[in-house]
Amino acid sequence: MAREPGGEKIVNPNPMMSNGNNCQRLFRLLLGLLLAVLAAGLGYVLSSLPSPAPGLSKPVAEHLEASGVSNPVTAVLLNYRAYDTLLELGVLLLAPLGVWSLGVAARHREPLVDPVLDMLARLLVPMLILVAGYLLWAGAHAPGGAFQAGSVLAAAGVLLLLSGWWPGPAFSGLPLRVSLTAGPGVFLVAGVALMFAGGRMLEYPPPFAGALILLIEAAATWSIGITLAALFAGGRPVAGPHR
Amino acid sequence: MSLLQPVFDIVLGLALLWLAWRAVASPDLFRGIVLFIAFGLVMALVWVRLDAPDIALAEAAIGGGLTGALLLATLARLESGGGAGTGRGKDRESEPNDE
């Protein structure tokens, strides 16, 4: 275990050991050289950046009042660049689809019947749900938001899965699928509804912007949490009794 | 106070680089994953120092927590030789050949 970080343990099936080693050393040298050039280039670019960085923070601050929230990060994510966030949620929806296409979820080990873990899960899961709700609410005016809240929710899910809870067939069918698609779904419906209401897609009218953002973020939080927990479960759920 | 902050930043940056290197170079997969989780947590501190608490929260929760959990679950499946799939993953040898 106490090997050097150089990692000299690549097994070389080639009988001409020394030749292979030489080749490898040359390759490493070349790789190191290229990386050094890359690092020097990046360092040069970084040092030649204009020091008061021209950014969009001023226009963001100027239009913050119309965005419906007072946290500039949330304003950018859910209002100014809402389209990007919508697509991001779409990507997040693709991830469990990819995992599900690989096979059926199987408990990869017997759940531990451990009273300490059980008690901890019982104490922590409600608290994690509460923290997720707080992060979602706080996102409007302080650091936080749907992604943070969703990942805390997912942590609760992972804890439940680890302590032996497994979604029953009642949850693994339609409810699970609705949960996975709720975030991008609500986002999309809101965007298209705004189009029919006369605006452009995802152009929130300022009086409703705050409420709309909260609604979208709430759905997104739920979806993100369930998505990440489903990724941890791995594989698509089986309908009917567990095999 | 004025000296403490740059020193803290330098230590933080060096720790980040060291953890990243160890995580990549570790021949033991389990150790690599644990180092990766530690890397995520130190990275969250770096984001706080860079005045980006939003990213710090996401990094701590996703980079430090969930990705680590996912990697550990993957490792458990690799070591048990099975896998999520019914067909896929079975063709893999039962003993992992990467340490």
Domain that holds residue B48: 28-80
Q: Is residue B51 part of a domain?
A: yes
**Chain A: residue whose CA lies nearest to B85:** A103
Q: Per residue, what are the HEC states of chain A?
A: CCCCCCCCCCCCCCCCHHHHHHHHHHHHHHHHHHHHHHHHHHHHHHHCCCCCCCCCHHHHHHCHHHHCCCCHHHHHHHHHCHHHHHHHHHHHHHHHHHHHCCCECCCCCCCCCCHHHHHHHHHHHHHHHHHHHHHHHHCCCCCCCHHHHHHHHHHHHHHHHHCCCCCCHHHHCHHHHHHHHHHHHHHHHHHHHHHHCCCCCCCCCHHHHHHHHHHHHHHHHHHHHHHHHHHHHCCECCCCCCC
Is A242 a domain residue?
Answer: no
User: Does any domain span residue A147?
Assistant: yes
Q: How far apart are CA B15 and CA B42, in angstroms?
A: 8
Contact B60, B41 (CB under 8 A): yes
Q: Is the domain of A73 the same as that of A22?
A: no
With a cut of 60, say whether residue B89 has pLDDT above it: no
In this structure, the answer to whether residues A142 and A72 fall within a common structural domain is yes
Q: Tell whether A36 and A75 lie within a shared domain.
A: no
| B21, B53, B61 ranked by CB distance to A155: nearest | B61
For A202-233, how does the pLDDT look when each residue is reduced to its tens digit (9 = 90+)?
Answer: 888 888 888 889 999 999 999 999 999 999 88
B84: nearest CB among A7, A103, A155: A103
Instruction: Check residue B25 and give its pLDDT.
Output: 92
Tally of domains in chain A: 2
For residue A63, pLDDT beyond 60: yes
Do A112 and A176 lie in a common domain? yes
Same domain, A107 and A145: yes
A2: pLDDT confidence band, cut at 50, 70 and 90? very low
**Which pLDDT score is estimated for A32?**
93
pLDDT at residue number A237: 79
Q: Which long-range contacts (CB under 8 A, 24 or more apart) does B19-26 make?
A: B21/A5, B22/A5, B25/A5, B25/A6, B25/A7, B26/A5
C-alpha to C-alpha distance for A192 and A82, rounded to whole angstroms: 13
Distance from CA of B75 to the nearest CA of A (A): 11
Same domain, yes or no: A189 and A156: yes
Chain A contact set for B69 (CB, 8 A): 158, 232
Q: How far apart are CA A239 and CA A234, in angstroms?
A: 15
User: Given CB atoms, is A124 within the 8 Å cutoff of chain B?
Assistant: no
Q: Which of A66-70, A166-170, B3-7 has the highest mean pLDDT?
A: B3-7
The predicted pLDDT at position A16 comes to 52
Say which range, A13-17, A131-135, A234-238, has the weakest mean pLDDT: A13-17
**B76 near A CB under 8 A:** yes
Give the ipTM: 0.73
Q: Would A63 be classed as within a structural domain?
A: no
Task: Give me the total of CB pairs closer than 8 Å, taking one residue from chain A and one from chain B.
Answer: 77
Q: Does residue A179 form part of some domain?
A: yes
Tens of pLDDT, residue by residue over A109-155, are: 566 667 888 888 899 999 999 999 999 999 888 888 899 999 999 99
Same domain, A116 and A32: no
State yes or no: pLDDT of A3 exceeds 50. Answer: no
Asked whether residue A20 falls in the same domain as residue A76, the answer is: no
Question: Which chain B positions have a beta carbon within 8 Å of A143's beta carbon?
Answer: 53-54, 56-57
* Chain B residues touching residue A144 (CB < 8 angstroms): 54, 57
Looking at residue A183, its pLDDT comes to 93
Alpha-carbon torsion (A35, A37, A42, A43), positive or negative: positive
Query: If residue B56 lies in a helix (H) or strand (E), which one and from where to where?
Result: helix B53-58
Number of domains in chain B: 1
| pLDDT for the residue numbered A196 | 87
Q: Note the pLDDT of residue B90.
A: 38
pLDDT digits (tens, 9 = 90+) for A91-120: 999 999 999 998 887 765 566 667 888 888
> What's the CA dihedral at B11, B14, B18, B23 to 10 degrees?
90
Q: What is the Cα–Cα distance from A127 to A134, expressed in whole angstroms? A: 10
Radius of gyration of chain B (CA): 17
pLDDT the model gives residue A7 = 46
Q: How confident is the model at residue A78, as a pLDDT?
A: 86
Over the stretch B25-57, which tens digit does the pLDDT of each residue have? 999 999 999 999 999 999 999 999 998 898 999
Residue A4 scores a pLDDT above 70: no
Residue B92 has pLDDT above 80, yes or no: no
Partner-chain residue, chosen from A5, A9, A106, that has the shortest CB–CB distance to B84 = A106
Looking at the structure, tell me whether residues A31 and A141 fall in a common domain: no
Q: At what angle do helices A206-233 and B67-80 cross, to 10 degrees?
A: 20
What value does the mean pLDDT take over residues B75-90?
60
Per-residue pLDDT band at A10 (split at 50, 70, 90): low
Please report, in angstroms and rounded to a whole number, the separation of the first and last CA atoms in chain B: 46
pLDDT tens across A153-193, in order?
Answer: 999 999 888 887 777 777 778 889 999 999 999 999 998 99
d(CA A10, CA A21): 10
Residue B36 belongs to some domain of the structure? yes
Asked if residue B90 belongs to a domain, the reply is no
Domain holding A84, by residue range, is 68-233
Residue of B17, B54, B88, B99 best to disrupt the A interface, most CBs of A under 10 A: B54
Model confidence at A72, pLDDT cuts 50, 70, 90, reads: confident
Q: Is B78 a residue whose pLDDT tops 70? A: yes
CB atoms within 10 A of CB A15: 7
Task: Record the tokens describing residue B20, joined without a space.
Answer: 């990243």
What are the residues whose beta carbons fall under 8 Å from the beta carbon of A80, sequence distance 6 or more?
A: A60, A63, A67
Q: Are residues A156 and A226 in the same domain?
A: yes
Tell me, yes or no, whether A40 and A75 share the same domain: no
